[in-house]
Structure 1
Amino acid sequence: MQSFRALGRHLDLIPAAINRQLSEIDIARGRQEAFARQHPAALESLQQAALIQSVEASNAIENITAPKKRLEEIVAQKTTPRNRSEAEIAGYRAVLDTIHSSAAHIPFTANIVRQLHRDLYQFAAQPGGNWKVSDNIVTEERPDGSVAVRFTPVSSYETPGAMDELHQRFNETWEADHHHRLLLAGAYTLDFLIIHPFADGNGRMSRLLSLLLLYEGGYEVGRFISIEKLIERSKETYYDALAGSTVAWHEGEHDLQPWLSYFLGVLTAAYREFEPRAAAVTSGRGSKAELVKTFVRSNISDSFTFAEAKRAAPGVSDEYIRQVLRQLRDAGIIEGTGAGRGAGWHRLRRDF
């Protein structure tokens, strides 16, 4: 709630770089909406690919995984969970489906957040839907095996009041419409993460709530491009941005800009990926080549695998993807790395 206590300090003077991001996103949003109206059936394959990627990526960030075939069966609701990881994956898929189908009709209240968390754990042995009852900390494991504290969340005692205040202040500013709604969505996500209101599932809930706010604000690219996948690809940048905006948050002296820049950067990348993917499902081989090239050009990380390129190009054959990657390699745009199962690609430049 700290970001909303002094919102003017954070949002009244927005850096030019963030204004440029907002402008690009708003222009791309208009193109995406027009394409969705003109080719609704053609986008169904993108929606299915994005659904699988979102469920897989958001859980993988928290080290919750399942074999690919099992994950696809769970997402398609063709099987029931067999273990804890599969139960949490199934819960994420259920909440994501609720947001996809009903975002416009979901009131954004603290109680709704608890209900969505309850649904996230509907298949798990431990029920969800309750605020944490003991204090928690957010840590990271360093390469040498030591554990460091990323940040200290709001105490369990203060959490109910903090969530009520966050939602009251957020909804007031959302309705007032004095600030760009993407900035408000980003500010909410940061405050939610630092409050860390649940004993478990806070990261996944933050991504679900971000998507809900984007949909309520009219930014629906997440239906066709997995925003969670983009976050997974840029996980280190995600943590760097979070670190840059958590310092002095409890005192209300934090800097919201690092987090907003990252938040908008992910959304920008999603819209940049949407156009060539949408064109590829309605056009020929030239568009399919551009689909692969756009993934290479816009991928947040310089390193990527063939599997990632394949997931970014639904409907494009493996051999054709390999052909395009070889062409980019021969042009000095990417280079191969590793061998065997560890093989991958590294981007050398974006200007192509």
Structure 2
Amino acid sequence: MQKLEALYRDPAAIAPLKPSELPVELRESALDIVEAAARLSGSLHPMTARAIADFLRPANSYYSNLIEGHDTHPLAIAQALREMYASDSRNRSLQLEALAHIAVHKRLPELLAAADNNPYTEGFWRAVHRTFYEHLPAEFRWVEAHEGTQLEVLPGELRTNEVRVGRHVAPAAEALPAFIERVEWAYRPKAEANRLARIVNIAAAHHRLAWLHPFLDGNGRVLRLFSDAAFLAEGLNAGGLWSMSRGLARSEQTYKQALAAADSQRLNDYDGRGNLSEKRLVAFCQFFLQVALDQIRYMTQVLAIDEMLGRLRNLVDLLAVKRKWRPEAYYVLEAVFLKGSIARGEIMRLTALSDKTAKELAKTLIDAELLTTDLSVRFAPYRAAYPIAFAPVLFPGLYPAGKEADILNSVR
């Protein structure tokens, strides 16, 4: 073995970038993801799917930031989305951080298109980092170096300082361009005809980019956004109906242990031919793909039509008691869930209410953020919407149990 100093200046130190052969367990996991994502993709009306994808972005933000040690309550995120911020600067900054993640996640299709649908490029990673940090408050743009000095994180700029993450020493900053060039070349999608191998590459690249640590700070968030974009590029994100952040946060200790284990150098002569352990890279890939599969299956179960309609009815029953809602609200929510949208006049037909009462019911649902419309367009249809406030009833298990209890208690 070469000395540590030489390894981290030589791009060969990051090898292997992918398994030398595709193990059966990885091939099967990748195939399971393809099949599960296809089932989830076709389960909803496209307009309903878009509404739920919008609803899920705050949860993705919550979990991604949670992994970084920032526990911003979902209710605080909901308030920030309505431009209602905490009075103290720290909590306000956490709200703005959550909004930054939501904004970048929403722009992933645009950023990916600008990268020619290839998320494995320096330009794409830098664009994600830049977009995220441009939305952050000033206090989150500084990190403390080992010697105690404050360093500014420049949006979209590769680090120029040396870093250590736990026991892992990242490559020398001056060598980053050479490492990045090797990573871009190894993972370029056009070079791999086997779709299952490309799916495994998403997992492998997640680790190798973490190992590379290209930015002074924000690497974890960029990694998770990159992974969502990579599944999108493969047509596996089911229109935004799932993401990696929730699954990784729910297995945070295992996730971080698997990342650290895959940092290991080659164990013996039967462990690949690169500097790093191929066996532990394979183990990380299997963990990562299983997390992805678990998230797809969770959302498939939650969004099963009969189950979802049952929860919509339960929600109306709850609010009929708490807020004196009309029970006919269920028929409106059922229709927009199944159809994606309904004409304004259809509420009268669905509920058999008078025109005036139907309009009052529509306003009630709009005020509750369970219905939306384009106010700039006359007679624009009503569309489905799903606010954080009703997440525990409609999407049970999306947030941790304690947070769900708080959210339910806020429903008055």
Q: Please report the TM-score for the alignment, with normalisation by the length of structure 2.
A: 0.61
Per-residue deviation, 1:113: 1.4
The question of whether the paired residues in 1 share the 8 Å contact of 2:163 and 2:170 is answered with yes
Query: Does 2:134 match 1:122?
Result: yes
- Aligned length, in residue pairs: 287
Instruction: Kindly report the root-mean-square deviation, in angstroms, between the aligned alpha carbons of the 2 structures.
Output: 3.5
Distance 1:288 1:28 in 2: 27
The question of whether the paired residues in 2 share the 8 Å contact of 1:95 and 1:116 is answered with yes
In structure 1, the residue matched to 2:163 is 136
Distance 2:313 2:12 in 1: 46
Match of 2:211 among 182, 194, 209: 194
Match of 2:260 among 243, 248, 251: 243
Unaligned 5+ runs, structure 2: 1-10, 142-153, 267-273, 315-387, 407-412
Alignment of 1:271-290 (within 5 A): 271-280=296-305, 283-285=308-310
Q: Could you say if the C-alpha distance between residues 181 and 287 of structure 1 is closer, same or farther in structure 2, counting changes exceeding 3 Å?
A: farther
Q: Please report the TM-score for the alignment, with normalisation by the length of structure 1.
A: 0.70
Q: Deviations over 1:66-120 (max 9, x none)?
A: 343331233x363579554334323222211111455344333212211221111
Amino acid at match of 2:32: E
Amino acid at match of 2:40: Q
The question of whether the paired residues in 1 share the 8 Å contact of 2:16 and 2:275 is answered with no
Alignment of 1:1-352 (within 5 A): 5-6=15-16, 10-14=19-23, 16-36=24-44, 39-74=45-80, 76=81, 78=83, 83-100=92-109, 103-107=112-116, 108=119, 109-123=121-135, 124-125=137-138, 126=141, 127-139=154-166, 149=167, 151-171=168-188, 174-178=190-194, 180-221=197-238, 223-248=240-265, 251-255=275-279, 256-280=281-305, 283-285=308-310, 314=391, 316=393
Per-residue deviation, 1:166: 1.0
Per-residue deviation, 1:174: 4.2
The question of whether the paired residues in 2 share the 8 Å contact of 1:280 and 1:288 is answered with no
Per-residue deviation, 1:52: 1.1
Distance 2:39 2:162 in 1: 45
Per-residue deviation, 1:61: 0.9
Per the alignment, in what secondary structure is the counterpart of residue 286 of structure 2?
helix
The question of whether the paired residues in 2 share the 8 Å contact of 1:281 and 1:315 is answered with no
The question of whether the paired residues in 2 share the 8 Å contact of 1:221 and 1:274 is answered with no
Distance 1:59 1:162 in 2: 27
Q: Deviations over 1:170-201 (max 9, x none)?
A: 11x54332462111111111110000011100
The question of whether the paired residues in 2 share the 8 Å contact of 1:279 and 1:287 is answered with no
Distance 2:262 2:292 in 1: 18
Q: Percent identity?
A: 19
Q: Deviations over 1:97-144 (max 9, x none)?
A: 1114553443332122112211111133234211111111112xxxxx
Per-residue deviation, 1:267: 1.0
Unaligned 5+ runs, structure 1: 140-148, 290-310, 323-335, 342-352
The question of whether the paired residues in 2 share the 8 Å contact of 1:221 and 1:270 is answered with no
Larger Rg: 2
The question of whether the paired residues in 2 share the 8 Å contact of 1:42 and 1:282 is answered with no
Distance 1:201 1:4 in 2: 21
Q: Could you say if the C-alpha distance between residues 34 and 244 of structure 1 is closer, same or farther in structure 2, counting changes exceeding 3 Å?
A: same
Question: Which has the higher relative contact order, 1 or 2, with Cα contacts under 8 A spaced 6 or more apart?
Answer: 2
Amino acid at match of 2:163: N
The question of whether the paired residues in 1 share the 8 Å contact of 2:262 and 2:277 is answered with no
Q: Could you say if the C-alpha distance between residues 176 and 59 of structure 1 is closer, same or farther in structure 2, counting changes exceeding 3 Å?
A: same
Per-residue deviation, 1:271: 1.6
